[in-house]
Structure 1
Amino acid sequence: MGFLGRFGDGLARTRDRFREQMNVLLDRGPDLDQAFWDGLEETLILADLGGETASGIVEELRDQAARKALPDAYAVLDLLKDQVAAQFSPYRPEVFEGERSVVLFVGINGAGKTTTCGKIAKQLHDEGRCVVLGSADTFRAAAIEQLEVWARRAQVEVCARQRGSDPASVCYDTIERAEQAGADTVLIDTAGRLHTSADLMRELSKVVGVVRRRSRVPVYTVLVIDATTGQNGLSQAREFNASLSLDGVIVTKLDGTARGGIALAVSRELGLPVLKLGVGEGLDDLKPFDAHEYAQALIGDFDERATA
């Protein structure tokens, strides 16, 4: 699969920018002085890892450099990928790989919820699972039709009502139909909500509450974030998590940003696992998450003998 793993091409813009900034820093010499540590922290912040995360990584690397008597900056950078990978919350396979589950996809408009929901349905169906989709986005024009297209592509059943219907009722009907069909997994697409609107968030919280009370199997609420929104994605995650007690995040459109560290910032600050990464528009570009592969694809190599 190559040394950059599954995320390499999708994170190329982030990696190239990161390397450019680090090469400028390394050009002044490999000494482990204060300028190097300040420059490393600044580079991590500019990659959208967030100030708190970047500071914590640099502090740990400084401690390791002192304890291990590391000779230069290249030796520190050899440890950077492992340190980045270690910041992620543990992956939760039960969300999409458990025996039974109901998954609600939440997020703001345009984050890619409907497409993500459809892609996962296709992937799970191809793995032999019985999937039922629920179209609880009853407000956005063409949202129902878009999910129905994905249902046909994935060869799975979809439950939908006419536009303007009560989303909680759609969720109820979807779970009921899934039980009748003996489905393994229920994937419910919800309407986009502005995280800054208290009324909309309360409404979404009621929908999630209905699903949790009705379902006889584990229910998971997953936030879909557009990576191109940068640190605003972290603000979204904070608000959605406070209202809904999220179980994980999916980060989309990583191929469209040069600041792809937002996945780490969200996972570390909120203690949420990253479940999948979207690194392109194709069906196969929604990848299962692996912390070490992500770190490698995000950072690349800085050894003069390596190419990234």
Structure 2
Amino acid sequence: MGLFDKLKEKLVKTKKSIVEKIEAVIPTGGKIDESTIEEIEEILISSDVGVKATDEIVSILRKKVKEGNVKNFTDVKIILKEELVNLLKNNNFLNLKSKPSVILVVGVNGVGKTTTIGKLGHKFIQEGKSVVFAAADTFRAAAIEQLEIWAKRVGADIIKHKSGADPAAVAFDAVEHAKAKNKDIVIIDTAGRLHTKQPLMEELGKINRVIKKSIPDAPHETLLILDATTGQNAIRQASLFNEIIGLTGVVVTKLDGTAKGGVIFGIKKEIGIPVKLIGIGEDIDDLKKFNPHEFVEALFD
């Protein structure tokens, strides 16, 4: 199965939530009027596309309907596809120009941070890059062990301290190790932080400051891992983390098991942070670079 076909298969729940519902409200051979537009608006909002993104899309659709350019579902589909792709465009690629490039990974508990780091490390190593994992989630001994298992599995170096050690010290040692050994990429795991826990958020700031002592322009990426199944809560998490630490990108996981994939549009419009990677399954190769055009095509195909 090709990548596009796999993406279509994995996004089927989101497609049913958005595209098929919109198709169902378009009158066959009838006129698309204001009540139809309002139904489309309700579908987009209930599918976690978000209020701002929905407002923008619907205002364009309404304008084209008034101009007489929308006659049927095919016309609606063309407009929606174009606007959704435009909404998602903007710097969807990882900044990996430096050596080493440092990626700080953040997020709340249970979103799959460590697993995503493992898959990301695998992806880089498959591309011929050398990778160092930093086990800076020192609050849970199990997190260190889990990252060790991933390091062995994918062939990455791992820098770790004892459970309870200073996470910033682990991050610093990993960056210094990468510099000394001429490694390409450092990926720093951090503890799953509840956004209500201010001391833990302050610790993220400390990790950032310590990394900069070794590499002034690091981290080159600060990626927030979000679970697509949480819907609108994912947008709130993105907003809070962006305020506190300044995100460069988002990784949306578990898109294969949810009808809430529309949250990708909401994140981009509400927070202004690009989605850089998506998780579409449990296999090690199921973490993919995010391509806005392919994502939207897979929904509407």
- TM-score of the two chains, using structure 1 as the length reference: 0.91
Within 2, Cα distance between the matches of 1:98 and 1:57? 38
Q: 1:89 touches 1:267 (CA, 8 Å); kept in 2?
A: no
Give the equivalent residue in structure 1 for 2:127: 127
What whole-Å deviation, never above 9, does each CA across 1:191-222 have from its counterpart, x for those lacking one?
11011222221222222222233325542211
What whole-Å deviation, never above 9, does each CA across 1:8-54 have from its counterpart, x for those lacking one?
12211111232442243125654220111111111111211111111
3-state SS in 1 of match to 2:188: strand
Query: 2:59 is aligned with what amino acid?
Result: E
Give the equivalent residue in structure 1 for 2:248: 247
Bigger mean CA offset, 96-105 vs 242-251: 96-105
| Matching of residue 268 in structure 1 with residue 259 in structure 2 | no
Q: 1:107 touches 1:225 (CA, 8 Å); kept in 2?
A: yes
3-state SS in 1 of match to 2:10: coil
Q: 2:100 touches 2:179 (CA, 8 Å); kept in 1?
A: no
Per-residue deviation, 1:2:
6.3
Q: 1:100 touches 1:218 (CA, 8 Å); kept in 2?
A: no
Within 2, Cα distance between the matches of 1:115 and 1:90? 26
Give the equivalent residue in structure 2 for 1:235: 236
Bigger mean CA offset, 238-247 vs 267-276: 267-276
Q: 1:160 touches 1:170 (CA, 8 Å); kept in 2?
A: yes
Query: 1:54 is aligned with what amino acid?
Result: T
| Matching of residue 117 in structure 1 with residue 145 in structure 2 | no
Give the equivalent residue in structure 2 for 1:295: 296
Superposed CA RMSD in Å reads 2.0
Within 2, Cα distance between the matches of 1:217 and 1:128? 24
Within 1, Cα distance between the matches of 2:165 and 2:224? 23
3-state SS in 1 of match to 2:88: coil
What whole-Å deviation, never above 9, does each CA across 1:96-126 have from its counterpart, x for those lacking one?
4665410000000111110111111111111
Within 2, Cα distance between the matches of 1:40 and 1:89? 23
Q: 2:223 touches 2:248 (CA, 8 Å); kept in 1?
A: yes
Report the number of matched residues.
Answer: 300
Among all aligned residue pairs of Structure 1 and Structure 2, give the percentage whose two residues are the same amino acid.
Answer: 41
User: What stretches of structure 1 of length at least 5 have no aligned partner?
Assistant: 302-308
Bigger mean CA offset, 165-174 vs 84-93: 84-93
Q: Which runs of 4+ in 1 moved over 6 A?
A: none
Give the equivalent residue in structure 2 for 1:178: 178
Within 2, Cα distance between the matches of 1:6 and 1:291? 15
Per-residue deviation, 1:130:
1.3
Query: 2:285 is aligned with what amino acid?
Result: D
Per-residue deviation, 1:152:
0.9
Within 2, Cα distance between the matches of 1:244 and 1:43? 33
Q: 1:131 touches 1:183 (CA, 8 Å); kept in 2?
A: yes
Give the equivalent residue in structure 1 for 2:107: 107
Q: 2:23 touches 2:73 (CA, 8 Å); kept in 1?
A: no
Within 2, Cα distance between the matches of 1:2 and 1:154? 23
Per-residue deviation, 1:166:
0.6
Within 2, Cα distance between the matches of 1:201 and 1:216? 21
- TM-score of the two chains, using structure 2 as the length reference: 0.93
Aligned counterparts, 1:32-181, within 5 A:
32-67=32-67, 69-96=69-96, 100-181=100-181
Per-residue deviation, 1:67:
4.5
Residues 118/193 of structure 1: CA separation in 2 closer, same or farther (3 Å cut):
same
Per-residue deviation, 1:269:
1.6
